[in-house]
Structure 1
Amino acid sequence: MTEHTLKGKNVLIAGGGKNLGGLLARQSAAAGANVVIHYNSDGSREEAEATLAAVEAEGVQGAVLQADLTSPENVATLFADAEKAVGRIDVAVNTAGKVLRKPIVDTTEDEYDSMLDINAKAAYFFLKEAGRHLADDGKIITVVTALLAAFTDGYSTYAGGKSPVEHFTRAASKEFADRGISVNAVAPGPMDTPFFYGQETPERVEFHKSQAMGNQLTQIEDIAPIIRFLATEGWWITGQTIFANGGYTTR
């Protein structure tokens, strides 16, 4: 039986420079994996390079690659360059996304296009290139949102942009199954990161906290072990969306 461990594996993390992605990069390196860290814009470069330094301090290989993942060509190049940097990718994790809280009647076409490009289109082509490039018995994990099981206002383009990823995930899990590749999505509750606070009032933050165990937001430390499990011993789980939100919401 194959040993399900990250030691000696090659891991690519989209949005891997900071927040959840940065934690996953550091933990993967500590577990013995080589790690390729993707970041989107120049504003994220410094954090990505700091994460790279932490990865390399674990004695493994690391690399930093910049790409706008809303371009399918850039996604293809990202995977090709990741292979050049560390070898055939075994685990591909997509933590990238964009949040917008705005009423439908105030949402512009440009905002709609941007949200769907980042949350749905980029995720689709990340899955496509992972399917083309991953080693047999690889793992693909996409971060979505617990809002997929919520009934709320304001987040039409965010939840709406993430919701297709569930269908992409299920299709990919069937299409890649003959190569032993598992494909899953993880749906955290509102996370205690800068990604969240810019969209909410202090009052709504307190409301979100009140909906979960311990009166708290989801921590990145709550989600990283679930992704690590899916990338190792949890290989038999595939085609699923796992809601991890402290009881915030469910289907």
Structure 2
Amino acid sequence: MTETTTPRVAIVTGGSGGIGAAVAKRLAADGMQVLVHYSGGRDRADAVVAEITAAGGVATVGKADIADETEVAALFDEAEKRYGGVDVVVHTAGIMPLSPLVDLKLDDLDHIHRVNIRGTFVVDQEALRRMRKGGALINTSTSVTKLQQTGYSAYAASKGAIEAMTLILAREMRGRDITVNTVSPGPTETPLFTEGKSQELMDRIASQVPAERLGQPEDIAEVVAFLAGPGRWVNGQNIFANGGAI
């Protein structure tokens, strides 16, 4: 008799563009059923789902403010209702306002805190309440925490908080067979990274990488797919996916 296996189910926050879209498409290609989360980019999220389904995969969209616990709970409800459960959560949603610390408005700092720190806390909390045995939670940080680039103080601080949260959560999941890791991309060619940067600046950043190119979202998706699938013995780690930029 042929053994049947239930497809794993993944929620990808920030799945409407950039790294999130690449992750959603890669996990779907690996056979997972994917809920593509968006906050304000419904058209982009629909385009990701259309590409997945055209390739024979299974995906749908879901909207939520990641810092709102009621909306995030409803997002997980939708995944469970549609697909029967949740096995993988990849949290890529976030914002990256840049400014020297001395000039940063405190309202902007509060907004970064709400989206990047509170948003991660809310998503992770719901994920760990819902994920089935064998699950994988993957948060997103940044290589900027090690690069000490000017203008990134508030953003890097928020991502440092995510790294600390992740390492503790991995230990809090003792006995549940759930892995918790962080992926920290380096300079990656996404709208979030390229906005406001000249071609000259991006070329200079790319030259600092041994491969002499910017990362692509698919490069990051490869690492995430490993952690979401076969990488069961990698746990409580922060994986720098930056082509050797640091």
| TM-score relative to the length of structure 2 | 0.93
Work out the CA distance in 1 between the residues paired with 2:29 and 2:187: 27
Match for 2:186: what amino acid?
G
Matched with 1:33 is 32
Match for 1:169: what amino acid?
T
Work out the CA distance in 2 between the residues paired with 1:154 and 1:27: 32
Mapping 1:26-105, distance limit 5 Å = 26-41=25-40, 44-105=41-102
Q: Pairwise CA RMSD of aligned residues?
A: 1.6
Matched with 1:193 is 190
> Which runs of 5 or more residues in structure 2 are unaligned?
none
Report how far residue 175 of structure 1 moved. 1.1
Task: Encode CA deviations 1:152-201: one digit per residue, 9 max, x unaligned.
Answer: 21001111111111111111111113110000000010110111112434
Identity %: 36
> Which runs of 5 or more residues in structure 1 are unaligned?
1-5
19-28 vs 57-66, greater mean Cα deviation: 57-66
User: Is the contact between residue 23 and residue 218 of structure 2 (CA under 8 Å) also seen in structure 1?
Assistant: no
Q: Does 1:143 align with 2:159?
A: no
Task: Encode CA deviations 1:16-57: one digit per residue, 9 max, x unaligned.
Answer: 12222112212222222111010011xx11110111122223
Q: Secondary structure at the match of 2:215?
A: coil
Q: Secondary structure at the match of 2:182?
A: strand
Matched with 2:204 is 207
User: Is the contact between residue 62 and residue 86 of structure 1 (CA under 8 Å) also seen in structure 2?
Assistant: no
Q: Secondary structure at the match of 2:109?
A: helix
User: Is the contact between residue 63 and residue 85 of structure 1 (CA under 8 Å) also seen in structure 2?
Assistant: no
User: Is the contact between residue 7 and residue 33 of structure 1 (CA under 8 Å) also seen in structure 2?
Assistant: no
Task: Encode CA deviations 1:53-111: one digit per residue, 9 max, x unaligned.
Answer: 22223444322111111222222222122211212101100111111221112111111
Alignment length, in residue pairs?
242
| TM-score relative to the length of structure 1 | 0.91
